Amino acid sequence: MTARRPVRSRSPKHRPVLLPAGIVACSTTLLAAPFPEPSQLPVQPTPPDPLVRFDGQRVSTAREWYQQRRPELKALFQHYMYGSWPSAPAVRATVERMDTQYFGGKATKKEVALALGPDDAPVLHLLVVVPNGRRGPAPVFVGLAFCPICALVNDPNLPLPTNWMYPGPGVRDHRATAAIRGSAVGTWSIEQTIDRGYGVAIFYNGDVEPDYPEAPEGIRAWYARHPAPASAGTTAAEGGYDWGAIAAWAWGARRVVDYLVTDKAVDARRIAVVGHSRNGKASLVAGAFDERIALVIPHQAGCGGTAPSRGTIGESVQRINTSFPHWFNAPFKQFNDQPQRLPFDQNSLIALCAPRPVLVSNATEDSWGNPDGQFEMVQGADPVYRFLKAGGLAARQMPPTNQLVASKLGFFIRPGKHSMTPEDWRAFLDFADKELKPVRPPRDR
């Protein structure tokens, strides 16, 4: 794999402008950084309309959405919330172990080590399992997990990791013990996915960025120690990324996609991404910024993901920034007591995925994640999908429990708590059966 060049607008009328961190925008879109200080932004009590540009003009064509408003929204989300991040490095993939007779011969398993850069860059350990006997390559769910890959399957051959772990079953003092093996089999239900004809490619988010502030072994610290050389088509200042951990996990998922599109067993045009909670926030960021991802499932993603920043139920911007100061960038903290000044809400992040399908899934007892507010965010993304003639949300109100709304913008809520269960996976797979179509080459962009 080679380092990817920033994408440039093909239209001769629009001169490309390279913003910090490789964001490319058109010179006609008023995207010249820096954006105003948060205190200078207007108060908008309700979610800003994604189809109204930062300069107040309404988007009038699909082309304008793709070429101007979408890049502008991406730049706004990076500037005020998630931070800026490096463009794709040359990822080195090594298949460490392979078993073509997995799950009693139903699947092939590969353990792939992805070096996220040269030298001592962090290594992401990927568990790829694809069904055997398919006629063509398999559609695959990229999964962001809270646990190492040895927890995802009952398989003593997977090595025990030594890096930082979340507290949980089989973890002592943030380190894995043998008891961690297989402890997340029910969460990921890999065999069910295989039986339905899909593959998975799952990694532990902590391989990319351990979930505590200023983790020295994370990818953010690594880039801080290795600022991009000016000779690589960047400026030295680009080493100064201000990304939070959510963006780093999303970036890691995109490096997994870099690998998957080279894997012959995988249908590169049918790659979905799924994650739970903080990993759901990261899944949505990955899908919003990466058009190779054909379907996005932010599961119970809550504040900073699919719940409104202006919401009054559950977690607030102030609370998330206080509990998790390393998840977002510094400017986002300036919205703690004035989220109404954000020039977007999370409906715009969902809308960035258009025309690709997004399933927002929830649980009734997860009030911290504000399921009602999440439904409103899906409703708030719907006008963009309709404007682009890409379908939308086929529900006027929150559906009854266990009743999947399987339209381009999907919604699901089941009884129960904040978790990821085999029932959730059934809904994900039903949604994918209907909506995981090959990503089409961009038409209008």
Q: Which residues bind ligand GCU (CB under 6 A)?
A: 277-278, 302-303, 315, 320, 323, 368
Between 9 and 316, CB nearer to ligand GCU: 316
Between 324 and 387, CB nearer to ligand GCU: 324
Between 278 and 414, CB nearer to ligand GCU: 278
Task: Fill in the DSSP letter of residue 173.
Answer: T
Residue with the CB atom nearest ligand GCU in the bound state:
277
- Count of positions (residues) in the chain: 445
* 278-289 vs 70-77: helix crossing angle, rounded to 10: 140
Between 65 and 412, CB nearer to ligand GCU: 412
Alpha-helical runs (H) found in 262-352: 278-289, 317-323, 330-333, 346-351
Cβ atoms within 10 Å, residue 349? 29
Hey, which residues does 130 pair with through a beta bridge? 108
Minimum CB separation of residue 163 from ligand GCU in Å reads: 19
* Active site residues per annotation: 277, 418
Between 252 and 302, CB nearer to ligand GCU: 302
Minimum CB separation of residue 314 from ligand GCU in Å reads: 9
Minimum CB separation of residue 212 from ligand GCU in Å reads: 13
Contact call for residues 152 and 185 (beta carbons, < 8 A):
yes
Minimum CB separation of residue 302 from ligand GCU in Å reads: 4
Minimum CB separation of residue 327 from ligand GCU in Å reads: 8
CB under 8 A, 24+ apart: contacts of 312-317: 313/367, 313/370, 313/372, 313/373, 314/367, 314/368, 314/369, 314/370, 314/373, 315/368, 315/369, 315/370
Closest residue by Cα to residue 2 from 228, 232, 272: 232
Question: Residue 19 is encoded by which pair of tokens?
Answer: 């913003």
